Structure 1
């Protein structure tokens, strides 16, 4: 599947970040860019035009759950995503990018909310279950 490039930039703006050259999109990608040492800006870049629409359709407001809740799930989702990314022979090239998420880093609730919903988006849009949460699809 080919997707149009769509970039979402979020985070508090305290400094400038460099841009990244992006190529053809054959599968959805998410990047979590870490800031320079003296910066507190984090970016979540999602390259899938359906993500923003999905995010807007979510019934829960950003503060429905705590930042800790989102972070706990994100640690699990990112670990599974990166495992699949590192084993392309088994899982294919769908997990083309590695997500750099540090469990010890204090990301704000907005970034954690958006990343959490990215994983829910992948599950709903592509029917991929990253973590079995005991729900039926």
Structure 2
């Protein structure tokens, strides 16, 4: 009888001990998707930019702040990067379908504003760094 109580007590003690609190690096994939999703929308221009890339948000913090580059420079770089990206999307035999999934609609005649151009430019910088891809005119 005494052994049953000891065994029951140990069982309850072991099972009642949870895994403890979350550590800093312990996040579920749904939390990562929520925390690393950046969405910009402008209903007047009928566009929406959604960047879902684990790690992009935290990487962006380490980059030059908003205002560091002028909008004209960002637009020029984005035109160049989008053209190259779209070329790679259309050439699946040479470039990975996993990286280059679909074309990006970026109309040089549309003023998307500073924020869109800043995030798009930095996404291309992040993309090149993370996936070891080199675009013409990118940081090498």
Normalising to structure 1: TM-score of the pair? 0.70
Alpha-carbon shift at residue 92 of structure 1 (Å): 2.1
- Bigger relative contact order, structure 1 or 2, given CA contacts below 8 A and separation 6+? 1
Structure 2 Cα separation of the partners of residues 112 and 84 of structure 1? 21
Which deviates further from its counterpart, 75-84 or 86-95? 86-95
TM-score normalised by length of structure 2: 0.68
Which among 36, 52, 74 is matched to residue 78 of structure 2? 74
Displacement of 1:105? 0.6
Count of residue correspondences: 107
CA RMSD of aligned residues (A): 1.9
Structure 2: which 5+ runs fail to align? 1-28
Q: Secondary structure at the match of 1:9?
A: strand
Larger % of helix: which?
2
67-76 or 91-100: bigger deviation: 91-100
Give the distance between the partners of 1:66 and 1:126, measured in 2 at CA: 26
**Could you list the runs of 4 or more consecutive aligned residues of structure 1 that deviate by over 6 angstroms after TM superposition?**
none
Shift of 1:100: 0.5
Which residues of structure 1 form unaligned runs of 5+? 16-38
| Maintained 8 Å contact 2:77/2:137 | no
CA drift of 1:41 comes to: 5.2
Q: Which residue among 83, 88, 95 is the counterpart of 2:87?
A: 83
SS of 2:94's partner is helix
In 2 relative to 1, CA 132–70 (structure 1 residues): closer, same or farther, beyond 3 Å?
Answer: closer
